[in-house]
Amino acid sequence: MPNEADEELSLEEQARLDGVRLAARTLEHHLTNHLTLTVGYAELIAEDPELPERLREMARQVLESAQAAVESVRRMRQVDSLSLIDQGIPGGPLIELNPGPRRDW
């Protein structure tokens, strides 16, 4: 559902942003499913008193990293605008995602 900021975009920009939003939602869903398993097992291992402290510390690091990845994926839902950035790399320009206020689609 478009918001006020969307109304100011050209039709081409709106279509591109809608495509990015759809891709972000799909990617968020798939990655979050995979990361949920990682977070769950890391929590179990990090709290298992029968394991050596070294392994539990490694599990805490995995847990922290997986939780940060979940948050990064969730931030993709905040994309409010985008711009193409030509960095002179093979494959063409990259899309820079510009976050706006959090909203549900």
**Entry pTM:** 0.58
CB atoms under 10 Å from CB of 17, counted, come to 21
Residues 84 and 27: their CA atoms lie apart, in Å, by 20
Domain that holds residue 67: 4-77
Q: In this structure, are residues 101 and 80 in contact, taking their beta carbons and an 8 Å threshold?
A: yes
What is the count of structural domains for the chain? 1
- State the pLDDT at residue 3: 52
pLDDT in tens, the chain (105 residues): 555 555 566 888 788 778 877 887 888 888 888 899 999 999 999 999 999 999 999 999 999 999 999 888 877 766 666 666 777 878 777 767 666 654 444
**91 found inside a domain:** no
Structure confidence at residue 105 (pLDDT): 41
pLDDT of 56 reads 96
Q: Is 63 within the bounds of a domain?
A: yes
